[in-house]
Chains A and B, each alone.
Chain A
Amino acid sequence: MKRFKYADERISEKDILVAIPSSVIGVGILSLPREVASVTKFADGWVPLLIGGCIVIFMTWAIAKFASGFRHQTFLTYASKIVTKPVAIVLTILFAASSIVITAYQVRKISNIAQQYLFDQTPIEIVALTFLLVVVYAVSGSRAGLFRINIMFLPIILLIAFSVIIFNLGWFEIKKLMPVFQTPPTDYVKALNTSTISYLGFSILWFHLALVGQPKKAPKMAALGMCIPVGLYIIIFLVCIAVFGNAVTSNLLYPTIELAKVVEIPGGFFERFESIFFVIWIMAIFNTTTMAMDISVIALNSIFKNTMKLKIIFMLAPVVYLIGMLPQDIVTVDLLGAIMGNTIVILNIFVLLLLTVIAKIRGVKRNE
């Protein structure tokens, strides 16, 4: 069937601009203020958040720049050209595996939070299963559709985030942000680690950039897109501190949701804004999860070329579910998240360096 130019599996750079924040903003921000506040003093957490953000923006730009050099080529194709096929396959599998873990982590985390804020008796297994099924439904659709979903949801997500911030203005106490710069430098480094992990989500660039029709502007767009979560995280962190103070922020499990709990809607149209906030935030988590799952689907599909996409998805789904349900308690889940985050950061940096250096040495041509 003949189709229009844009209705095929091609996406525009603008979609990358939206997809990056969509795949970054997820469950991370809900607990991030606690993690940062507990290792820094007062409101100093914004410093590591900003530095981490800058590092990540640079990495995003670098990966996009590198990947966009190989137009319309899958990661496996160009990696094979640079570092031979077996190595490329190993790298692809590593990416696939890490994305599976991200998916599982998100699914597990959302069920935990949903159980805490929306349910009481409903078992998390069921909450996770229904969420995963919806994710599977999305991933099994068209890939361009995923990007369209990102575009449709991101404005709503940002809107709800900013409405939480605005409704909290009344509870601001600027004095809680004082004094500044009292954190010892070693703690900044600790916080930097936490903050960098929270910005994960640029792995999509390795795989999805192949879909971009004209990847010339993609690096700029990706970096711009990364600025959105960096800005949002810093603002949310500062608002948390200004409203709760450092002591409370570092003790609340999900300070961002508690922030919504403080909100009193003018006019009293409805109460308990945090339920609304979290329910809408599910869309953000959904975006992150689908993008992560799609990475693993693309990665595996590029290795097993003859297997149908749907088959891969149906085989992946139980794996994701099992990994997600494996940890027993919330501490283990967080541990899983931390390990996963560090691994992915290292993996990305490693792959970027490896490919760039070897490509330079072997003089692999890019089709720019």
Chain B
Amino acid sequence: MNKVCLFLLCCMSLLLTGCWDEINIEERGFVVGISLDLAEEHTEDNPMITVTNQFVIPGGLGAPNEDSSGDQKPFNNLSIDGESVFEAIRKMSTMKGNAPFFEHLQLIVVSEELAREQKLFARTMDLFLRDQEMRRSVRILISENKAMDILDIEPDSEPLPVMYINNASENNDKVAGLLEPLRTGDLHEYLLEKNNYLIPRIFALDNEIQFNGAGVFNGRTNHLVGVINDEEIVGLNLITGDLKGGFIKFEINDQLMIYEIRKAKSNIKINADDTNNIHIDIVISTEGNIGEMYGERTLLEKDYLEEIETQINGKMESLAYDVIQKGKEELEMDFFGFGEMLQQRHYKKWEKIKDNWDEGENIFKNTTVKVKADAIVRTTGATDKVKDWESE
């Protein structure tokens, strides 16, 4: 019988306790996107930021049984200024009937203006890693102009701009000039470690967004120091081997040809015997096919294919050299992860030189980088030629 009493006691205690956390799904203000801008009245000493939350209005999404949804907008953007993100978000709960709920947050857009402020970027990111409601897979993008404008676009294909941007950013297997989307989990690592990193950059254009290069962040101060363009990202992706797919546009016999990359791999060898003159050898090997060609010469010739491959190699090498040049000369920063590799492979040496790698003496600037590309054309697509002007 004692067990019975105990059981009843358990039930009683459950009964007597309340439901502290019960908030029904329709009372949640789902936030899917956040944008961070510098506030208008921003001063150096008193950094004010404008936080814009994109709330989903579920009724506007066109749920199956709602016929009354009509022309209701599926989202609602709300901006508010505050010294900290948390403060701004809490202020927002008083403005909105349903308190903001971040478990479905998908996207954070930070304006370039804010990202250029020293330390401010890292500070604003703290909440997104600390708060329990946040996921580690929220994507982060840098916006060229005002970040809140990005959330304001009304795309045709998707009801929610955030979903639209998310889908678009996943197409990095189609375009080589697109970085793999950065997640807050990865950012956490970047913020804690001293390596430089990149965040994809985006701008809004008449209800559409376009990816445009990436912002280069200094790993120590965590602020945006420079921008690289799409071409340079292709080069970077080739060097790091992170290329998921994409294409190389090149010319052969003055005719345009597209090489579609199916598989890309890079092999980097670092020779750090002499710390003042570190040799970095990069071998890029790709596999792919001809995606499109303007010319009319048959591709099914061994010599011609080899010539094409040479052209592709040349193009890829020049892309890689360009971006390395940019890193070494213009930005004077290593955003290729060479430092990390040194740490992994030559830890003792790295400990000695790490403070002078891309600052101070800037050893990185004096490294010798050699790139060799090895492209293979596996197939020419479904056909050899589709046009034959010579016979006309």
23 contacts between A and B (CB under 8 A): A117-B132, A119-B20, A120-B20, A120-B21, A121-B21, A126-B17, A126-B20, A130-B13, A130-B14, A130-B17, A133-B6, A133-B9, A133-B10, A133-B13, A137-B6, A140-B3, A244-B189, A245-B189, A248-B188, A251-B188, A251-B192, A264-B137, A310-B2
A82, chain B: closest CB distance, angstroms? 36
A310 to B2, CA, bound (A): 8
A176 to B2, CA, bound (A): 55
Q: Looking at the complex, which one of B2, B136, B137, B341 makes contact with A140 (CB distance below 8 Å)?
A: B2
**Residue A258 at the B interface, CB < 8 A?**
yes
The residues in B between 30 and 61 inclusive whose CB is less than 8 angstroms from any CB of A are none
Q: Please, which residues of chain B bring their CB within 8 A of the CB of A141?
A: 3
Apart from the given pairs A116-B132, A140-B2, A262-B136, 14 other A-B contacts in the complex at a CB distance below 8 Å? A117-B132, A119-B21, A120-B132, A136-B6, A137-B6, A137-B7, A137-B10, A179-B343, A179-B347, A245-B189, A248-B189, A251-B188, A261-B136, A262-B185
Q: Chain A 103-137 against B: per-residue CB contact (8 Å), 1 yes, 0 no?
A: 00000000000001101111100100110011011
A171: nearest chain-B partner, CB-CB: B185
Q: Looking at the complex, which one of B3, B21, B189, B344 makes contact with A178 (CB distance below 8 Å)?
A: B344
Q: Please, which residues of chain B bring their CB within 8 A of the CB of A182?
A: 347
A119-B20, A120-B21 given; A179·B344 CB < 8 A: yes
**Residue A364 at the B interface, CB < 8 A?**
no
A141 to B2, CA, bound (A): 10
| Chain A residues touching B, range | 20 to 34
B139, chain A: closest CB distance, angstroms? 13
**Residue A362 at the B interface, CB < 8 A?**
no
B209, chain A: closest CB distance, angstroms? 24
A140 to B9, CA, bound (A): 14
User: Which of B14, B189, B344, B345 counts the most A-chain CB atoms under 10 A from its CB?
Assistant: B189
A140 to B10, CA, bound (A): 13
A137-B10, A179-B343, A251-B192 given; A261·B135 CB < 8 A: yes
**Contact between B193 and A178, CB atoms less than 8 A apart:** no
B100, chain A: closest CB distance, angstroms? 13
B19: nearest chain-A partner, CB-CB: A122
Q: Looking at the complex, which one of A119, A248, A262, A310 makes contact with B192 (CB distance below 8 Å)?
A: A248
B16: nearest chain-A partner, CB-CB: A126
A178: nearest chain-B partner, CB-CB: B344
**Contact between A175 and B10, CB atoms less than 8 A apart:** no
**Contact between A178 and B103, CB atoms less than 8 A apart:** no
**Contact between B132 and A122, CB atoms less than 8 A apart:** no
B14: nearest chain-A partner, CB-CB: A130
A117 to B347, CA, bound (A): 38
Q: Please, which residues of chain B bring their CB within 8 A of the CB of A261?
A: 135-136
B62, chain A: closest CB distance, angstroms? 20
Q: Please, which residues of chain B bring their CB within 8 A of the CB of A120?
A: 20-21, 132
Q: Please, which residues of chain A bring their CB within 8 A of the CB of B14?
A: 130
**Residue A365 at the B interface, CB < 8 A?**
no
